[in-house]
Structure 1
């Protein structure tokens, strides 16, 4: 059985395979009012000074694992030992449309909220539900020291932390080290992500943001990975008691090529899994119309291959490990 492709994904075929949904969306109604003046965002300040940590779920409305992780924290009444902790649900409107019978359709309402975080777009005249919501959230983002953006993945892939291109994001991701793979990249052709927002990437400043891709959508193990990443960040910030030390630090990789589909006929030669390492340079990965996509170097790490990709969308990122 299949489901209809989500709006705006640029997929020229009409149907997608059916994906297993092992999670139920949480009831977020107790948290929608919040206490920050931004709907869906709640802050807790400790008596002791410390960083302002913001943890965000639902930048994509169908990635409900992050909503479950934050809902669990709020219901447990977790409070920081120092600093200020803000928990927020971003695309509430898209989340409200989530349907387990067609779970990919509620990624967004008008446009991808994780492609609007450049200043020219935020300050410009264009309007959309997601862009207006990003403008609301910006008032809090501009006060954050560290931001953790919770995401999950449609296709099978090992979990990872994305730190963008800034040195501060890299340092924060390596300090969290949960999961144990950190990837630096320059983002997408379609627009800037939250981790690419200038507050986190400018040469001057102290603020940093990282994004965790915690596993496949709608799986319990993905929620567990998000909770582990949150715990590691809060311990690093001194907001909770330290977690047990990892036996080894995270591996670090840099993206060497972002492969963007240029036709509606992009197809991998086989269903690759994110996290696979292709040992030999010039190994054939995919066809984009008549063009061949091959590995640019030995030991090529595949980052989040999208097994059904539309024209203009990222098909895969290719990376190299850096010791």
Structure 2
């Protein structure tokens, strides 16, 4: 921010005047909304299917529809259920999280059904779950909570609105980061603190405990409604099931492992930028995965505050080209040795 409360320089003021927030484009939905009616009732809880093997092992859960308009994850779980995927050891569960929001999904207005009352992926802290606030999402989270408490490894399937390279969010624990790097798909792993507006499901309870054993991972596999996102999600989920020994290595339901690609890399978030003003705007339309070479490069304006890169080779993690005050605009990260 300019020193002593000074206003922006004339050059920056002109830049601020010209830095328009990206308008939400007309999105095309190129993935069919899956028919989840066969899975509505579940066999553990509504919308939750859980299967145990004879051989002992960990409880692995794969969740979809934490955001009701992210339908690619539901397509993955729908196929696995239809084709009868079962664990070789331990317990394997499939969770359709925010089904009420999903039921409202309309391809003509695909961004409108992210949630019903509030973001399901911001309510996973004790004060929210045990407090007196009421919402559709909190009601569902409170229903799921005892079940989630039994999960050893959670993979949460997500997709992205704005252009970005795929990545895995692994929170702050070393065990989660190591598992994500071992999967190798996608090759970018980001260690982060989540959002100022509330805790994600992967940040809940034992998943985030520094000295715990439980692991929560979140994959951001690609654009919300593009066909290529479905196999990208499935590749990550299949790699997790194989890595944890939950399925036979040659299980015919799962796709074969992809050929080796880029070496997995870990990036550590050094700053989470939360928009403070309704006029938050990037100086250009960055995409997730862009690396800004030099420290102190101006990347955005938040009212009169200048948002600059805190270090050289700064990775931009999922910049949101339209964001509201109080919400994450971008995470800035540094690559680290894994």
TM-score by length of 2: 0.89
The residue aligned with 1:47 is: 54
The residue aligned with 1:312 is: 326
Alignment of 1:213-252 (within 5 A): 213-242=220-249, 243=257, 246=260, 249-252=263-266
Is 1:104 paired with 2:135?
no
8 Å CA contact 1:168, 1:201 repeated in 2: no
8 Å CA contact 1:47, 1:82 repeated in 2: yes
- Per the TM alignment, residue 248 of structure 1 is displaced from its structure 2 partner at its CA by 5.7
The residue aligned with 2:161 is: 154
> Which whole-Å deviations, capped at 9, do the CAs of 1:224-243 have from their partners, x for residues lacking one?
11000011001011122444
Q: 1:163 aligns with which of 147, 166, 170?
A: 170
Separation in structure 2 between the aligned mates of residue 205 and residue 275 of structure 1, nearest angstrom: 30
8 Å CA contact 2:164, 2:287 repeated in 1: yes
- Per the TM alignment, residue 247 of structure 1 is displaced from its structure 2 partner at its CA by 5.5
- Per the TM alignment, residue 171 of structure 1 is displaced from its structure 2 partner at its CA by 2.2
8 Å CA contact 1:34, 1:41 repeated in 2: yes
- Per the TM alignment, residue 168 of structure 1 is displaced from its structure 2 partner at its CA by 2.4
Alignment of 1:260-279 (within 5 A): 260-279=274-293
TM-score by length of 1: 0.93
Give 4+ residue runs of structure 1 displaced > 4 Å after superposition. none
Separation in structure 2 between the aligned mates of residue 83 and residue 173 of structure 1, nearest angstrom: 20
Separation in structure 1 between the aligned mates of residue 124 and residue 175 of structure 2, nearest angstrom: 18
Separation in structure 1 between the aligned mates of residue 205 and residue 174 of structure 2, nearest angstrom: 13
8 Å CA contact 2:235, 2:258 repeated in 1: no
Is 1:78 paired with 2:92?
no
Question: Secondary structure, in 3 states, of the residue corresponding to 1:190?
Answer: coil
The residue aligned with 1:180 is: 187
8 Å CA contact 1:172, 1:209 repeated in 2: no
> Which whole-Å deviations, capped at 9, do the CAs of 1:293-316 have from their partners, x for residues lacking one?
111111000000000111111100
8 Å CA contact 2:60, 2:246 repeated in 1: no
Separation in structure 1 between the aligned mates of residue 222 and residue 116 of structure 2, nearest angstrom: 23
8 Å CA contact 1:174, 1:249 repeated in 2: no
Separation in structure 2 between the aligned mates of residue 21 and residue 236 of structure 1, nearest angstrom: 32
Computing the radius of gyration over CA atoms, which structure comes out larger, 1 or 2? 2
Alignment of 1:85-96 (within 5 A): 85-96=92-103
- Per the TM alignment, residue 279 of structure 1 is displaced from its structure 2 partner at its CA by 0.6
Q: Structure 2: where are the runs of 5+ without partners?
A: 1-20, 250-256
Separation in structure 2 between the aligned mates of residue 292 and residue 205 of structure 1, nearest angstrom: 39
Q: 2:43 aligns with which of 35, 56, 61?
A: 35
Q: Which moved more, 1:106-115 or 1:243-252?
A: 243-252
Q: Structure 1: where are the runs of 5+ without partners?
A: 1-12
> Which whole-Å deviations, capped at 9, do the CAs of 1:208-233 have from their partners, x for residues lacking one?
11000001101111111100001100
- Per the TM alignment, residue 121 of structure 1 is displaced from its structure 2 partner at its CA by 1.2
Q: Which moved more, 1:172-181 or 1:69-78?
A: 172-181
Separation in structure 2 between the aligned mates of residue 295 and residue 207 of structure 1, nearest angstrom: 33
Separation in structure 2 between the aligned mates of residue 78 and residue 241 of structure 1, nearest angstrom: 10
Q: 2:217 aligns with which of 201, 210, 219?
A: 210
- Per the TM alignment, residue 204 of structure 1 is displaced from its structure 2 partner at its CA by 3.2
Q: 1:18 aligns with which of 9, 26, 29?
A: 26
8 Å CA contact 2:314, 2:334 repeated in 1: yes
Separation in structure 2 between the aligned mates of residue 265 and residue 250 of structure 1, nearest angstrom: 36
Separation in structure 2 between the aligned mates of residue 88 and residue 322 of structure 1, nearest angstrom: 33
Alignment of 1:121-160 (within 5 A): 121-160=128-167
